[in-house]
Structure 1
Amino acid sequence: MKKFFFNKKDHKENRALLIGAVANLIMAALAWFTYYLSNSGAILLDGNYSFIMFLGVIVALKIVTVKVRRTKTFPLGQFFYESLYGFIKGLMILGVLIMSLSTAIARIVMYFTGSTDSIPMLIPDPILYYALVCSIICYSVSFFYYQQNRSIGNSSILLKTEQKATFVDGTLSLGIAAGIFFLTTGGAGSKFGFIPYLADSFFVLILVSILIKEPLAIIRESVIELAGGTLQDKEKREAFERAVYLNMPKTFNIEDIFISKNGSKYIVLIYISTDEAVYPRKDIIETKDKITGILSKDHPYLSLDIIPEGKPIQEKRPNENK
């Protein structure tokens, strides 16, 4: 069996994911302890979300080790696991947001139908401390993911997915902290008497409406990658096309460029035509090697092919019948 080694980008990706896994496990433990002290359903959901993210990162670490392995079934590597992970993680994030939304709506309905006995009163102090600490951790980890992915040319769908997920988690925590701030300004006997019951529920409604686009974007991008669709990153696509046009010999006419992405593997197909009598094989090979060398500096898992489109007119040999 051929042995594979991590390159520098894989080491950065692996290290970033490992740090994120530890951070998520810590936040999950803090959330469960805070839920025990505060009676906040939003905190419980936040903790479960962090634990799901921890489990997801563990899976992502495994994907980093297997994605480059080539088998008879997957001769180009198993990069599709990255896109599949993004799709499943997007569904998980969407599920957590829907659960949070459902719980919030249920509490609001129970309150306004007079079933306040079924809604536990919130104890604000533990929630405030937890929310502030976790929002700082989440935003720090999200920025760390962003920086690490940027340092490897934004080529990791794993880091991109985790960065968005952690940002969502941090925003939820910050929203909870804001809700508790309002809770401390209103009492159960005042005109703001609903606040001790529904503070976190109202902020969950607001935050879900803001954050719902994040998992939907992850799911959409992952589905396109799994289906073999065109690259959705406009800026990166333009960079690829620029490298192709600048390094294509004048004897070749570029008819079309297809760029696709599956996880961290990029596939580039360049369709060319020529006005010459024949396609010079040597020029095609040299051009392919040159463009591949340029693009692979930032994208080590690159597959590039130059495909002649149609057949040029062949010159007849002298001994051929006219």
Structure 2
Amino acid sequence: MTSAAIQDTRTREARSLTIAMWGNLFMAAAGLLAGFLSNSGAIMVDGLFSMIGFLSALLARRISRKLDAGPDRLRPYGYAADEAIFVTFRSLSLLGLVLFAVTAAAKNIFDYMTGSVPEPLIFGPMIGYFSLIGATCFALWATHYRAWLKTGRKSDILQLEARAAAFDGLITAAAGMGLGLIYLLRDGPLGGLAPIGDSLIVLLLCLTVVGQYYGGFRAGLSELAGVTASPERIARARRAMRPALVADGGKLLDMSVMKLGRSFQVTVYYDPGRPITAEQIDTLNLRLQHGVQPTLPGGEVLLFITRYPRRWPGNMPALAGTPG
């Protein structure tokens, strides 16, 4: 990736994340205010989701500035892991908020069933809130998604922010429809549920999003744990490296591909079948890397010259003690 392309990616990420930061701060303030004025826990939870979005965008801006920096004394493997750490802990924080919201909603329902009547909902502030926040969520999603496309679909941060904006919009729309239904049915056969309708909506919304956030948490945690990338990516890397390996004439013993943020670590275990110099090893390594990068942007190739694939054989200690 050229320095100009890296700089363009950084600029687009920074611009998109700045918009996300202030957009989420606005939605958080609006949600907390509207939730207070309307006595709605669902709107309050919506505002708390936006507050996490603001803090995440603030952190993401700092992380994105160093993601493409190479290895240094402090980080000998570079800074790619920061993106996976961000995705993991952002998803974890959202899961924590879901757990808090579910607990609070369940408590309200329990209190109502034991005779405690919650504060009635005030529907006046809700119409303007849902219209304004829905439009803001759509604008944020469009901004992040466009920036993600412009950066070659390689920024996990922008992809996560686009998904978060879309889900925030869906949550807002669902909460609005649910509260509107409560308003319409408050004097009908289901009027008995009206006092806890807000809590029931919170439960339904949390059940809707928990799978998405848990999936993001697992994906980030898998990258940090060094889990193998998808079979499709491994096959693409193998095809991309085949011409250079065939030209060299040796034997590919094994290979692995790991995704970490927007980078890929491709490890190649290779037996050249002949004496080979350090210069020839470096040349082959660079050819493999040049072959991989168009297929796996940000891919780095680590070439091992060895007779053994991935793991030492069980009798390796005895072999190590045998005179050459």
**Residue number in structure 1 paired with 2:38:** 38
CA displacement, residues 100-125 of structure 1 (integer Å, 9 cap, x when unaligned): 21122122222222211xx1111224
Contact 2:134 2:172 (C-alpha < 8 Å) held by counterparts:
yes
TM-score by length of 1: 0.83
**Which SS does the other structure have where 1:166 is aligned?**
helix
Structure 1 residue 262, shift from structure 2 partner: 2.2
Counterparts of 1:281-300 in structure 2, within 5 Å, are 284-297=281-294
**Which SS does the other structure have where 2:264 is aligned?**
strand
Contact 1:104 1:205 (C-alpha < 8 Å) held by counterparts:
yes
| Paired AA for residue 104 in structure 2 | T
Correspondent of 1:264 among 262, 268, 286: 262
Q: Whole-Å Cα distance in 1 between the matches of residues 243 and 205 of structure 2?
A: 46
TM-score by length of 2: 0.82
Structure 1 residue 131, shift from structure 2 partner: 2.3
Residue ranges of structure 2 left out of the alignment (5+ in a row): 309-324
Structure 1 residue 193, shift from structure 2 partner: 1.4
**Residue number in structure 1 paired with 2:196:** 198
Residues 46 and 53 of structure 1, relative CA distance in 2, 3 Å threshold: same
**Which SS does the other structure have where 2:184 is aligned?**
coil
Contact 1:83 1:263 (C-alpha < 8 Å) held by counterparts:
yes
**Residue number in structure 1 paired with 2:140:** 141
Q: Whole-Å Cα distance in 2 between the matches of residues 71 and 144 of structure 1?
A: 33
Alignment size in residue pairs: 303
Contact 1:89 1:161 (C-alpha < 8 Å) held by counterparts:
no
Structure 1 residue 237, shift from structure 2 partner: 4.0
**Residue number in structure 2 paired with 1:99:** 100
Structure 1 residue 212, shift from structure 2 partner: 0.9
Residue ranges of structure 1 left out of the alignment (5+ in a row): 312-322
Contact 1:155 1:299 (C-alpha < 8 Å) held by counterparts:
no
Q: Whole-Å Cα distance in 1 between the matches of residues 73 and 283 of structure 2?
A: 29
Counterparts of 1:1-322 in structure 2, within 5 Å, are 7-67=7-67, 68=69, 70-116=71-117, 119-187=118-186, 189-232=187-230, 235-250=232-247, 251-274=249-272, 276-279=273-276, 284-297=281-294, 301-310=298-307
Contact 1:186 1:195 (C-alpha < 8 Å) held by counterparts:
no
> Identity rate of aligned residues, in percent?
24
Q: Whole-Å Cα distance in 2 between the matches of residues 177 and 238 of structure 1?
A: 46
Structure 1 residue 289, shift from structure 2 partner: 2.2
Which is further off, 277-286 or 211-220? 277-286
Contact 1:25 1:51 (C-alpha < 8 Å) held by counterparts:
yes
**Which SS does the other structure have where 2:125 is aligned?**
helix
Structure 1 residue 7, shift from structure 2 partner: 2.1
Structure 1 residue 173, shift from structure 2 partner: 0.9
Residues 127 and 247 of structure 1, relative CA distance in 2, 3 Å threshold: farther
Q: Whole-Å Cα distance in 2 between the matches of residues 70 and 278 of structure 1?
A: 30
Q: Whole-Å Cα distance in 2 between the matches of residues 146 and 247 of structure 1?
A: 36
